[in-house]
Amino acid sequence: MIKVFLTTILFFLLNSTFVRAEVVQFKEEELPRESVVPIFDQPEAVKKRYVPYDGRFEMGLFFGALLNDPFYNSYPAGLELRYHFHDMHAFGVVGTYNLRQKTPYIDQIRRQVPSTSIVPFESSPTPEFTAWGEYEFTPYYGKISLTKQGVMNLSISLSLGVGYLSLKSDNTSDSSVGYSIGLNQRLFFTRNFGIKLDLKVLNYTQADVVPPGTIEKKALANTMIGLGVVYLLPSL
């Protein structure tokens, strides 16, 4: 029994002597350093855009609505022309013509309080023509997957604008200078054509007809939402 035990021990010792791993030598320059991921000084997240903006003109057509006027709804229809002098920066001009429509609040107020019939609601102006100069900053550019085979490109931009507004009521005309702050998103179907969603706050002054006495101009912040189409030139 002891012999068998000793023989088994000898067997395992001999096995460990002859069955050994081979030592492999590598050249030092082939070995990985602390981090195998290169760190670039100026990383580029998107090397080649499918829808580049740089050096291209953008034409747009849109339709929208002003949401905060209590007595008249205003629906702007507009054209815009923009030049992208960089993928992230652009400057453009926007012009609109606004359709005017009375809200049901005027009749409701006059029905409830007959004395308000002397309030000249029809003299409350709304923008008729507007012209804006806008600067646009586009920090976001990316792509979305609608189906597994399809990709669409999109971008999110911020806009700052100054402009001139021609204000009109049923019996008066006026004008104002204002500024706008906006956020928009473009969704491209091709390298040139896409749709654009706009959310802007237009700040301007207009006549306030409600208080008794002399009609005075007061500052107004009006929210505008818009939906339109855009086309980039030159075509790719």
Partner 1 sequence: MKKIFITFLILLPLVAKAQEEDIEIPFELDSVKTEDTSYDQTLKNSTPESIKEAEKKSIQKAVTPTAPQKTELTGLGNLSAFNDVAVITRRFLPKTNRFEFHPNVGMILNDAFFTNFDFGARLAYYFSEKYGLELIGQFISTTNKTVTTELAQRDVTTESLATAQSYYGLDFKWIPIYGKMGWLNKSIVPFDFYFSIGGGLTKTNQGTQPVSLHLGGGQMFALNKWLAIRWDISWYGYQTTSSVDGSSGTYTNLHATLGASIFFPGAEYR
Binds partner 1 (CB under 8 A): choice among 1, 33, 48, 150? 150
Cα dihedral: 209, 215, 220, 223 (round 10): 30
* Least distance in angstroms from the C-beta of 93 to partner 1: 26
CB under 8 Å to 47, separation ≥6 — which residues?
Answer: none
Binds partner 1 (CB under 8 A): choice among 101, 149, 171, 214? 149
Binds partner 1 (CB under 8 A): choice among 1, 2, 19, 31? 19
* Percent helix, percent strand, percent coil in the chain, to nearest 5: 15, 55, 30
* 26 touches partner 1 by CB under 8 A: no
Binds partner 1 (CB under 8 A): choice among 91, 103, 133, 160? 103
Binds partner 1 (CB under 8 A): choice among 32, 212, 214, 234? 212
CB under 8 Å to 169, separation ≥6 — which residues?
Answer: 122, 123, 124, 125, 126, 207
CB under 8 Å to 101, separation ≥6 — which residues?
Answer: 72, 73, 74, 75
- The residue (of 52 and 95) whose beta carbon lies closer to partner 1 is 52
- The residue (of 50 and 97) whose beta carbon lies closer to partner 1 is 50
- Segment contacting partner 1 (CB under 8 A): 75-83, 91-99, 144-152, 174-182? 144-152
* 214 touches partner 1 by CB under 8 A: no
| CA nearest neighbour of 51 among 79, 80, 84 | 84
CB under 8 Å to 92, separation ≥6 — which residues?
Answer: 58, 80, 81, 82, 83, 133, 134, 136
Maximum CA extent, the chain: 124
- Alpha helices by DSSP H, the chain: 2-18, 105-112
Strand partners, 66: 74, 224
* 44 touches partner 1 by CB under 8 A: yes
Number of residues that bind partner 1 (CB under 8 A): 55
- Segment contacting partner 1 (CB under 8 A): 26-34, 56-64, 151-159, 170-178? 151-159
Footprint of partner 1 on this chain (CB under 8 A)? 3-4, 7-8, 10-11, 14-15, 17-22, 43-46, 67-70, 87-88, 103, 105, 108-109, 112-113, 115-116, 119, 139-146, 148-151, 154, 156, 199, 208, 210-212, 218, 223, 225
